[in-house]
Each structure stands twice: as structure tokens, then as C-alpha cells.
Amino acid sequence: MKKLLIAAMLFVGIASFAQETDQKPSREQRERLTPEQRNEKQLQKLTTELSLDANQQAQVKQLLADRSAKAEKLREARKDNKTKPTEAEREAFRNELKAEKDANDAKMKTILTADQYTKWHSLQEKNKEKAREKMKEYKKENE
């Protein structure tokens, strides 16, 4: 009887360790990157996936830097504003973000070749879909 009890406890202990190791690190545990590090990481990813040449890399690097600087300004402006935005303000903000996205798309279209742009656009769609899936998972976890 003792051996059976010890074997059961051993099994439960091993099973609990196995479950802990295959979970992804939480948001707080992941490494925080500076905007420059994020831009560099994204540039490297785009370089490998789209086969960018040196001139394209320089142009994309500048575009990423400009985009992150504008995003930081918007983030700070929203952080400074303590009141909840009205529906009209939210709509204006959405329109501003959409205009910014369209401008970035147009700049990328001038930098990349037609094939590269098509591939980049499909990558953007995949990333958007992945973000939607993560948001659904997040909402399910917090219900």
C-alpha cells in the first residue's frame, strides 16, 4: 500500500512539473525592448523575409524610426489626457491612425519592388490575423 501511495505522489509531482514548462512566459516576464531594438529586430526580419538590398534597408530603417517616433508621440498624448475621449474624438483618432497607415503603405510601395510589396502586404495580413487570435484568447482568459 505504501509503494502504491508513493508511486501515485511521484506521478502527480512529475505531471505538475511537465505542465509548468510548456507555458509561454507572461507579458511581464518577457524581455522589454527599446523602440530602437524593436525597429532593428523588425528590420532584420523584413530583410530576411523580403530579401532587401542595402539601399532598401536604409530606407525601411528610416521609415520604421519615423513610424515609432510618431507612435510614441500619440501614446504620450493619450497618456497625458486623463479624461475619457468622446465618440467623436475616438473616431477622429481612428481616422488619423488610418491615414498614417495608408501613408506608410504608400512609402513602402515606393521602397519595395512589386513582388516584395505583395509579400510584405501578405505578411501584414497574417500578423493582423495573429493579433486578432491572441485578442480572442486574451478575452477568453479574462472572462
133 is written with which cell numbers?
487570435
Looking at residue 2, its pLDDT comes to 72
The per-residue pLDDT for 141 is 85
Nearest residue to 51 via CA among 128, 115, 122, 121 = 115
pLDDT band for position 122 (50/70/90)? very high
pLDDT of residue 75 exceeding 70 = yes
pLDDT given for residue 16 in this prediction: 65
* This prediction's pTM: 0.67
3 state DSSP class of 125 = helix
Cα–Cα distance measured from residue 86 to residue 106, given in angstroms and rounded to the nearest whole number = 30
Per-position b or e across 104-134, b if 16+ CB within 10 A of its CB: eeebbeebbeeebbebbeeeeeeeeeeeeee
